[in-house]
Amino acid sequence: MRLPKAGTIEIAPSILSADFGMLADEISQVEAEGVKMVHLDVMDGHFVPNITIGPPVIKKLRKHSKLIFDSHLMISEPEKYAEAFVDAGVDNITFHIEVARNPQRLIDKLHKLGISASVCLNPETPVETIKNVSPLCDMVLVMTVHPGFGAQEFIQEAAKKVVDVRKIVGPNVRVEVDGGIDATTTPIVVGYGADTLVAGNAIFGQKDRRAAIKAIRQSIK
């Protein structure tokens, strides 16, 4: 399975704010609300100062969900572990331009493995760094916080890069935003051209997940 075609706005709840002791149940709750994707935050304690999950956990989760697994590899060597994540059942791998040795080769590799390929840039990383490879991707992820931890404050200056990214990739590549996304910031990033919204604390940090997802959807309108 690959990402939905660009254009339709999708919410991708981020498990970073979920209860890690009940991940399968947490994902089932948002799946019941009609989302198509779930954002899997993979951190290695090296590229970012935090450690989360890896292929063994994702493989177990795959048995409990039919959602698109949008895996965000915040790790130093994405090339080394690509096959392991594909074997675990992810549908998309997002790698960081800051650490990819040969981005184009990695994109080709992921496509040959049958999944979507996405590139990500941190708040301080210029859009120019992805200019050549982003049109080859299925999605570009613009970080609107510094990666590593959830519930951070939205960085609007970083979000403005979505405008330039959209100009580069055109209408047929998804543009995703991650960090501080909620019912207040959603209209901002959608206005800039984003169509994929990663929301962690705004969904899993709330007791009523249905109301939280509904609030984001209504803010888009």
Residues 45 and 65: their CA atoms lie apart, in Å, by 27
Residues 52 and 44: their CA atoms lie apart, in Å, by 7
Residues 207 and 57: their CA atoms lie apart, in Å, by 24
Place of tokens 């935003």: 177
Catalytic (active site) residue 178:
yes
> Which residues lie closer than 8 Å to 114 by C-beta, 6 or more apart?
86
Among 138, 125, 168, CA closest to 71: 138
Can you read off the two tokens belonging to residue 181?
């996304």
Candidate list 70, 178, 182, 195, residue with the active-site label: 178
Residues 57 and 62: their CA atoms lie apart, in Å, by 9
Give the residue numbers marked as catalytic: 41, 178
